[in-house]
Chains A and B, each alone.
Chain A
């Protein structure tokens, strides 16, 4: 019997597991996919908004506002890259400029610090901004974060504190006695639970339905992205976006914490949550929208294109107890601001569980509150010290991202280790650079095969059936 079962290993579910892990509760986290952070949490802009994305007076705005000031401290504890560099929403046309005052007012109403700056001032803040810029809305408190490392950092700290993490464990049935959940089936396991947290992202509507809880409608909103080389990314000082309209926030140029440059996302509602296909026309639109803001963006810098689905829903931000099932708490329908609100969502879920009588009211003495940072070669000021500490730091496997054998080995010793080459990339960046593994993929798969104790032909790119190789004797 577990006190709490958290369904969903994205940023929200992992944040909840992390928050509960330092209390007295026994917690299991179940994730349907082969790894944590496989949905919207890995395919997003990596911006922590200070509130400009949100409507004033909403729960979303409140949770984002509560989370924003704490990023530096939290990311230091979770070994997660974060930089509070600010966003410029650049107005190129007269019409766009005319919309800035209303947006400023709205941002201030949500509690997000903001100011309108002239075109010249915008170019002073970010010299790459187009000479066509007439003015811009500046959000100095916005940040950039590695959302994958954040999600995995939450999970790692949770697991080290005793949270049981089950991957490849889709929830197939939820058992009830009256208005209470008694147990659920996740993969091969049947788990008895005193309370259940629904943080299933795009699958949250279905989980609520399985549990007999409140209905809510969810659908995937697809975004397509470009990833550009860090030689361009390092030149950026600010996130650069356009002026939002009623229907869309538009395309951003985001210098990522990996120093690459991300362009995107688009926003297209559709029905198939597994559809992550890119198409040439949409990518072209993304590129042109980005070039309109930053003319230095050039096609030859491109290293990767990808698509991801974020949860769209009616209503949004369903965080709190279910209306029908007494021991079900939702952390669901969190549209595009899941990363930005995750610390406050986790705290709100904890407090809802406390009101249900779960033992989550007090911190457990001796629980771990910070991960020891793993040194990485990329950008390290004293690389010779790394090699002195472990000679495998001298063995650079992925030359583009400067990932060493020591870092890949360390990833496999984590509490939630990689089970695939994508898993290695998510934890170390190996194969994620400008040659996209053309030089190092075989070396990375060799090391993963050794470290994970897996035969070479069983090495998976992502899910277990997505193998790198095929059998030669069948």
Chain B
């Protein structure tokens, strides 16, 4: 049987693995030591899908390089050279970065990706007491909630594309959470930390951090597979919010694409 390597043990990667059973020997490489990705290792779907995948799991290993025939993955046991006929990139997504958003101004401290702000807040480190969160989707609301929970006094959200359905009511009545619809940060100011953000509607918003939580782009960093890698299938649903159903669909589509690549080989 041919070998397939899947990078990312979220629901997408695990679904893809399950649907390749009987067609290929599958190894799933996952950066953290648990499966589940954004849906969490404790979710019922994660446990079911992990069992159903039937794949070899290489947990706590980082995929580093793909040369079209072998994937190099690193963990503390060493360097793993995994032969594969097809590589699947199911590494999830991230919000847009500052350069991608075209935000002008200097580079003070306090401009962080929502992924970082949430991770730090969960570990008790607050990136700002009065942060401005850019975005109106799932990441933005999670960041706002985590920041408030970690001790932020007030969070302002600048939501360029409005507020995601399901979150519309949340926080509108709270003094410490305010949402500005249809405005995007265009320029930051302050030194050494952020002091204000200019918005596209002309407002200047005082704040001590800018948390970037707008947009959804694929997170790709495996050398040789960042754009169009040879014999590579990309399974990174860009839906906001990320749903289990969306992940399953993306995983199934990826499995079909892998099978057709294997057949044509």
Name A residues whose Cβ lies closer than 8 Å to a Cβ of B.
226-227, 229-231, 274-280, 283, 302-307, 377, 383-384, 386-388, 391-396, 399-400, 402, 404, 433-439, 441-442, 445, 456-457, 460-463, 465-470, 472
Contacts and interface: CB of A to CB of B under 8 A. Distances in A.
26 contacts: A230-B226, A277-B104, A277-B105, A278-B104, A304-B98, A384-B79, A387-B77, A387-B78, A394-B77, A399-B64, A402-B223, A435-B94, A435-B221, A436-B98, A436-B99, A437-B113, A437-B116, A438-B113, A441-B113, A442-B116, A461-B110, A463-B192, A466-B192, A469-B127, A470-B129, A472-B126
B95 interface: yes
Contact of A277 (B77, B106, B113, B127): B106
A113 to B, nearest CB: 34
B31 interface: yes
A184 B49 CA distance: 69
Contacts of A465: 192-193
B82 to A, nearest CB: 13
B119 interface: yes
A74 B206 CA distance: 49
A394 B221 contact: no
Given A388-B78, A441-B116, A465-B193, 8 more contacts: A276-B107, A303-B97, A384-B78, A395-B74, A395-B76, A399-B221, A465-B192, A469-B126
Given A304-B99, A461-B109, A434 B78 contact: no
A469 B78 contact: no
Q: Which 10 A-B pairs have the closest CB atoms?
A: A466-B192, A466-B109, A396-B62, A438-B113, A461-B109, A383-B79, A384-B79, A472-B151, A394-B76, A469-B125
B150 A472 contact: yes
Given A226-B99, A439-B94, A468 B78 contact: no
Contacts of A463: 192
A352 to B, nearest CB: 37
Interface of B: 31, 62-64, 72, 74-79, 94-95, 97-100, 102, 104-110, 112-113, 115-116, 119-120, 123-129, 150-151, 186, 191-193, 208-209, 219-221, 223, 226-227
Contacts of A439: 94, 115, 219, 221
Nearest to A398: B221
A441 B128 CA distance: 16
Contact of B120 (A392, A438, A469): A469
Contact of B128 (A279, A302, A470): A470
Nearest to A227: B99
Most chain A CB within 10 A, of B108, B126, B221, is at B221
Contacts of B76: 387, 391-392, 394-395
A402 B124 CA distance: 27
A394 B79 contact: yes
B127 A276 contact: no
B97 A438 contact: yes
Contacts of A445: 120
Most chain A CB within 10 A, of B63, B75, B125, is at B125
Nearest to A402: B64
Contacts of A388: 78
A369 to B, nearest CB: 33
A435 B219 contact: yes
Nearest to B112: A441
A82 B110 CA distance: 33
A306 B107 contact: yes
Given A391-B76, A436-B97, A468-B127, A442 B119 contact: yes
Contacts of B112: 437, 441, 468
A294 B68 CA distance: 27
Contacts of A303: 97, 99
B226 A229 contact: yes
A371 B42 CA distance: 48
Contacts of B125: 456-457, 468-469
